[in-house]
Chains A and B, each alone.
Chain A
C-alpha cells in the first residue's frame, strides 16, 4: 500500500494533497537536527511538551499517593483532636521550622538551576545551583535523622516499645504511626530527588543543557518543588496543631 492516498480514500472538502510533512520548527533547522530529538517526535518543542506534561501527570498520581495518608490523618485527627494535639507537642517546632526554611531555599536554588540551563549559562553555573539544591536537600535529611533519633531514644516509635505518659496514649501512638509514615514517605521522595539531581548534575557538567534542550532540569525541578510542597502541608499538620487546645 502506498502512503500517499489519504485524500483519495477520504474525499474531504479540501482535497488536501498528501504533504511530506515538515512541520515548522520553532528554533530553525539546527533544532530539528538536535541530537537529543527522539525519532518519534516531530520537533524539540513537541518532545519538551510531552516530557513536562508527563511529569505533571506523574505529580497528580503522587498527590493521590500522599492523599491516602492525608485521608488517614484526617480521619484519626477528627476522632481524637486532643490526643493529636498532645502528641504533637512532643515534636520539635524549631527543627521543623528550620527544615521548612531549608526546603523553601532549595526550591529557590532549584528554580535558579532551571533558569541557568534555560539561558545557556556556563556548565559551572548550572552545576553550582544543582549542587546547592542537593546540599540543602541533604541538610533537610540530616535534620530529619536527628529528629528520628530523638523520637527513638524517647520511646516514641510506635510498636511494643512505645511509651506515653499523657492522657491519650492510643491517639498519641496513632499520631506517631502517621508521623513516621508521612515524613518517612516524604524523606524517601527526598532521597529519590537527590539521586535524580545527581544524574542531572552530571549531565549539566557534560554540557548537555542549553536553551534548545533543558527538559531534564525542568522536569526534575517540577518534581523537586512538588516534594517541597508536600512538606509545606506536613509541617503545620504535624508540628503546629493544638495551639487552640492549650499546651
Chain B
C-alpha cells in the first residue's frame, strides 16, 4: 500500500488551489512558471527568426519592438525572479530547517494568486497588442509617446512585485523563527543562506520599483509630470529609481542559483564546502553591495562623470564576493570524489558560464569600455551569460537534483545528461557570437542589421534552436518520470541534509517529530571536533 505523502494526501482541484502546504504551492508555481518560460521563449524564437537575415523581413520594426519587450518582461518578472525562490525555495526551506511549513502558509498561497493575477494583466497586455517600450519602460517614451498597452503591463509588474515581497517576507521570518532546535545559523545549508540574502533584496528593492511604476501610471493617466521633461520632470530620476531595483533584481536571479550550486557541488564531490562562512557571508555581501552599483546603467545617460566613477568602483567591488564563491566551489571540487551525474553537469556548466558572464561584467563596469559597447549585443550577451548561463543553469541543476525528492520518482539519467549537454552547447552557440557582434558594433533592439553580421547571427539562431531542444527535453522526461519513473529512495544521491532524511515524496507535515540538530547538516567528512568513533 502506498504511504501517505503530500502528493496523495488530498485529491481534486480544490485540494491544490486552496492548499496551504508549501510543497504543493511550490508545484503550483512550478506549473505557472514553466508556462511563462515557454511563452518568453516563444518571443525569443520570434526575435531569433527575424535576425536570421539582415533585412527586416519577418515582421515590422514595431512588432519586433514588442517581441523583445514582451520577451524581457515575461522572462525577468514572471520567470527568472520567481523561479528558484518560489519553486525550490518554497519546497525546500521549511524542510532544510526542520520545520513543518513556512511561517505564513496563507500568505504563501496568496503570493501565488497575486503572481497569477499579475501574469494575467501581462498576458492581456500581450494579447491586446503588446508593449514596445523595452522591459525598462524608460520615460518619457513610456509616459508620453508609446501608444501600446503600457499601463496594463506596468500594472502586471506592480502586482507581481507584491508576490515577490510576500515570498521574501515569508522566507525571512521562517529562517529567523522556525529553525529546528540546535539548527544554528552556521549549521544552515548554504542554500538557505543564499535564499535569505535573496529575500533581503526582494523586500528592500521591490517596493521601489512598485512606487516607480505607480508614478509612471500617474504620469500617463493624471498628467502629473514626475518624469516627463515636457511637464517639468526629470527622466534621469526614473532611470535611477528603475535601476535601484532592477540591478539588485539581477542578484534576486543569481543568488538563489549560487545557493543551488553550493548544494550540488558538495553532494557530487562528497566534500563539505570549502570555507563555509565565506560562502555564506559572500551571499550577504552581494546582496548589500548589489544595492550600490545601479549607476553603471547610467554611464551614458547624463549622470555626472564623478558619480559614474564611484559607481564604476562599486561595481568592481561586487565582483569580489562572487569570485570568492567561484574559488570556493572550485576548491570544494578539488580532490573530491566527483561523480558526473546530471545535476553536477549543470553545476559545471554554471561555473564556466557564470565566470564568463561575471568577467565580461567587469568590462562593462569600466566606464571607458562601457561607453564603447553600451547598448550593443555585448551587453545582451553579458547579461544572458548571467541570467541564462547562470540563473537557468542553476534552476535546471536544482530541479534535477531535487526532482526525486519532489516527485518521488527517478528520471532517465542518460537523457538528462544529453539535455545538459544540449543546453550547454546551444547556449554558447547562441550567445558567444553576440559578444563578438556587439564588440564589432552591432546595436541591440534593431530588427535589421548590416550584412557583415549575418554569419554571427545565423550561428546565434542555430544555437537557440539547439538550446530550445535542451529546454524541452527535461519537461518531457520529468513528465515521463511522474508516470513511469522508478520510485525514488529517500536519498538517491547519497547526499546529506535534512531533506534527504525524510521519505520521497515527503509527508505533508515533513517531519513527524521535530528533528534535533547537533551539528552542521552537511557532514560529508567528519568534522575535527567530532572525530571518528
Q: How far is the CB of B241 from chain A (nearest CB, A)?
A: 6
Which of B233, B529, B530 has most A Cβ within 10 Å? B233
A3-B205 CB under 8 A given contacts A18-B516, A68-B211, A68-B241? no
B369 contacts A by Cβ under 8 Å: no
Identify 9 new A-B residue pairs, CB closer than 8 A, beyond the known A12-B519, A159-B223: A16-B516, A21-B181, A21-B516, A46-B178, A61-B169, A64-B205, A68-B211, A71-B237, A170-B232
A26 contacts B by Cβ under 8 Å: no
A75-B237 CB under 8 A given contacts A4-B513, A174-B232? yes
Q: How extensive is the interface on chain A, given as a class? A: 35 or more
| Residue numbers in B under 8 Å from A42 (CB-CB) | 514
- Residue total for B at the interface (Cβ-Cβ under 8 A): 59
A61-B224 CB under 8 A given contacts A10-B519, A18-B516, A54-B104? no
Q: By the criterion CB–CB under 8 Å, are B100 and A61 in contact?
A: no
Assembly CA distance A200 to B517 (angstroms) = 39
Q: How far is the CB of B452 from chain A (nearest CB, A)?
A: 44
Give chain A's interface residues, CB within 8 Å of chain B: 1, 3-7, 9-14, 16, 18-21, 23, 38-40, 42, 46, 49-50, 53-54, 57-58, 60-62, 64-69, 71-72, 75-76, 79, 158-160, 170-171, 173-174, 177-178, 180-181
Q: By the criterion CB–CB under 8 Å, are A57 and B173 in contact?
A: yes
Task: Choose from A13, A19, A50, A67 the contact partner of B530 (Cβ within 8 Å).
Answer: A13
Contact with A along B167-182 (1 / 0, CB 8 A): 0011011101110010
Q: How far is the CB of B3 from chain A (nearest CB, A)?
A: 10
| Residue numbers in A under 8 Å from B203 (CB-CB) | 57, 60-61, 64
Is the contact region of chain A dominated by helix, strand, or loop, or is it mixed? helix
Contact with A along B198-232 (1 / 0, CB 8 A): 00000111111011100100100011111000011
Task: Choose from A65, A67, A71, A171 the contact partner of B232 (Cβ within 8 Å).
Answer: A171
Which of A1, A3, A21, A61 has most B Cβ within 10 Å? A61
Q: By the criterion CB–CB under 8 Å, are B177 and A53 in contact?
A: yes
Q: How far is the CB of B194 from chain A (nearest CB, A)?
A: 18
| Residue numbers in B under 8 Å from A54 (CB-CB) | 103-104, 107, 169-170, 173
Q: How far is the CB of B212 from chain A (nearest CB, A)?
A: 6
Assembly CA distance A171 to B232 (angstroms) = 8
B502 contacts A by Cβ under 8 Å: yes
Q: By the criterion CB–CB under 8 Å, are B207 and A68 in contact?
A: yes
Q: How far is the CB of B67 from chain A (nearest CB, A)?
A: 30
A181-B173 CB under 8 A given contacts A60-B203, A60-B204, A158-B223? no
